[in-house]
Amino acid sequence: MCQAADDDGPASTTGPGTLCPACIVELQKQLEELPHLAMALKAFLGGSMKMSYTSKVKSTPEPQAPLNVAAADLIDEIGDVIDRAEDTVLALVQMPAEPFVVWVKGRPRDRYLDGVDRALDIGRVHRKASKVVGLHETWQRRHAPCPSCEQQSLGGFIGTNIIQCTNEDCQIQMDLDEYEKWCVIKARE
């Protein structure tokens, strides 16, 4: 999603196959975060042993799944994306198409990727890793209608105390206590 998008759509660029400056800045930030996300994903790998007591006389180790394969694959995918990237996203988006081996559904595939494709992969894998690790804010939609515009457009980021309307013509805000009082009023109606 374009970082500079407005009501008219994504930002204008210098031509096809390019990215806007706001997207380049955001992708650069995400590229710099990828090694940290890979380290955080190691906590999701698993791999411990537990004891299962089958009788009073005999106990046997019962291995859990030795590895969270999805987390391991995502760590490998982050490594591949970093290896295909340049020092800066600005330099990367100007690169011509080159052959790469890309894993698709568990199988290696030969693909030609230009710099924009490689830059967009940074954002794609960053979103996947952030979703697993949970470091970025998550939006939670609320079910009560907005007290101002009456649309089902209320929500807020998990962990914050602010509920807001996403309707562009309204955009009111309230704290969680006000929202709960509003829910009580709506429930009594």
Same domain, 40 and 128: yes
Tracing tokens 């982050």 back to the chain, one arrives at 78
pLDDT of 167: 86
State how beta strands 173-175 and 162-165 pair. antiparallel
Say what the alpha-carbon torsion angle 175, 152, 140, 70 is, to the nearest 10 degrees. -170
Residue 57 lies in a domain: yes
Same domain, 114 and 65: yes
pLDDT of 178: 92
pLDDT of 8: 75
**Residue 49 predicted with pLDDT over 50:** no
- Domain count across the chain: 2
End of a domain among 133, 163, 178? 133
Same domain, 118 and 44: yes
Paired tokens of 153: 């457009």
Confidence of residue 107 (pLDDT cuts 50, 70, 90): confident
Same domain, 125 and 151: no
Residue 7 lies in a domain: no
Same domain, 174 and 97: no
Confidence of residue 74 (pLDDT cuts 50, 70, 90): very high
Same domain, 77 and 167: no
pLDDT of 51: 46
End of a domain among 133, 158, 174? 133
Same domain, 29 and 79: yes
Averaged pLDDT of the chain: 84
SS (H, E, C) 109-138: EEEEECHHHHHHHHHHHHHHHHHHHCCCCC
Domain range for 166 is: 139-188
| Contact residues for 4 (Cβ-Cβ < 8 A; gap 6+) | 10, 11, 20, 21, 22, 23
Give residue-wise pLDDT tens across range 108-153: 899 999 999 999 999 999 999 988 887 667 778 888 999 999 898 8
**Residue 61 predicted with pLDDT over 70:** no
**Residue 64 predicted with pLDDT over 60:** no
Confidence of residue 59 (pLDDT cuts 50, 70, 90): low
**Residue 56 predicted with pLDDT over 70:** no
pLDDT of 44: 86
- Among the residue ranges 19-33, 56-70, 112-126, the one predicted with the least confidence is 56-70
Whole-number Å distance between alpha carbons of 23 and 175: 32
